[in-house]
Amino acid sequence: MHIDAIDTPAVLIDLDKVEANLRRAQDYADAHNLPLRPHVKTHKLPEMALKQVALGAIGITCQKIGEAAAMADGGLTDIFLPYNILGTSKLDRLADLHARVTLSVTADSPETIAGYAARFGAERPLNVLVECDTGAGRCGVQTPEEAVALARQIAEAPGLTFGGLMTYPPKGGTARADAWLQEAKTALENADLTPKVISSGGSPDLYRAAEGTTTTEYRPGTYIYSDRMQVAFGLGTLKDCALTVKATVVSRPTPNRAVLDSGSKALAADPVPAPYKGHGHIVEYPDAVVTALSEEHAVVDISACPEKPAVGDTVRVIPNHACVVTNLFDTVYLVHGDTVEREAVITSRGKLR
């Protein structure tokens, strides 16, 4: 099937770009002896995760139990879930997952660890890493001393093993995160709690990951597809972006305005960092600016375009943020150039719990 036969809006994944993006990252990782554990949030497809593993990834990363269960169903066997799992319902589901794959989780509070400790037993201990806030201002302990205290709490629980440290560093903050983690690592060693794994992540700094001297595993996510946000952060160019939204020009109300059938339900409202602006890059009209999204429409300023699209024309849009687009569609079309290989169901889409 030719891509012209795909109705819009639809997500197209260029498999050749996927392959190139994955190989480039794996080559870098291999050259620096830094194992990858990709975050599947970007593609949400077991087949893509299996491809990442086949190329050399040591396992995968998910953040929700439902997403991880879909990956386990798809044949993935080694899953890291860097999330504070709380509450009876989720702990029961976590135990089900733990029974069938090699699993690790994180914690950044005594309450979270107490929940794990009460649920898991010595016959099959749960591996727990301590999440560290190395500057990104999200979850994570604030000091190496807190990391040591939580590591000790984990190590002392019969049903838990202390797996090491995990961080999501601030963008451009590899050195800062590394200094933090080095201090924590030393403190842990002094407390006889040597961390087996120190896990860092983020696609924007993927090709600086080896500068993190303490890092033993790296979790890139968006690198597989890339998007405008990643390119703005310095990861490759727009030509590397494997995910596009195919859209139709449904209106040309004025000489300088076009309207697409891909609104915020297709492109998502996530903003893009400077120097980019607007809600996506239109491949065929690089000078166009997607100035506004409503749910079912994208309004495009085409005043800077030497040629203008007509009603009924189709275009390909590189979104600001690929991961949230994947979460809006039930299926994606896997393509080689202009040829559709097949349609794939996004099995872990919408797995919020």
- Interface with its own copies (CB under 8 A): 7-10, 41, 63-64, 83-84, 86-87, 89-90, 108-109, 111-112, 133, 137-142, 248, 250-254, 257, 259, 261, 264-266, 268-271, 292, 294-297, 299, 310-312, 323-324, 327-330, 350, 352-353
Q: How far is the CB of 31 from its own copies (least distance, A)?
A: 29
Q: How far is the CB of 263 from its own copies (least distance, A)?
A: 9
Q: How far is the CB of 252 from its own copies (least distance, A)?
A: 7
Q: Which is nearer to its own copies, 14 or 133 (CB)?
A: 133
Longest dimension (CA), the chain: 71
Q: Which is nearer to its own copies, 141 or 184 (CB)?
A: 141
Question: C-alpha distances in angstroms, 50 versus 47, 78, 335?
Answer: 5, 11, 18
Q: Which is nearer to its own copies, 324 or 340 (CB)?
A: 324
In terms of DSSP H, where are the helices of 75-223?
88-98, 110-119, 144-156, 174-190
Q: Which is nearer to its own copies, 43 or 297 (CB)?
A: 297
SS3 301: strand
State how far the Cα of 271 lies from the Cα of 277, in Å rounded to an integer. 8
| Token couple for 247 | 């859209």
Q: Which residues contact 156 (CB under 8 A, 6 or more apart)?
A: none
Q: How far is the CB of 352 from its own copies (least distance, A)?
A: 5
Q: How far is the CB of 175 from its own copies (least distance, A)?
A: 22
| Token couple for 160 | 């838990």
Q: Which is nearer to its own copies, 78 or 270 (CB)?
A: 270
SS3 230: helix
> Do residues 353 and 318 lie in contact, with contact meaning Cβ atoms separated by under 8 Å?
no
Q: Which is nearer to its own copies, 29 or 68 (CB)?
A: 68
Q: How far is the CB of 167 from its own copies (least distance, A)?
A: 12
State how far the Cα of 80 lies from the Cα of 37, in Å rounded to an integer. 8
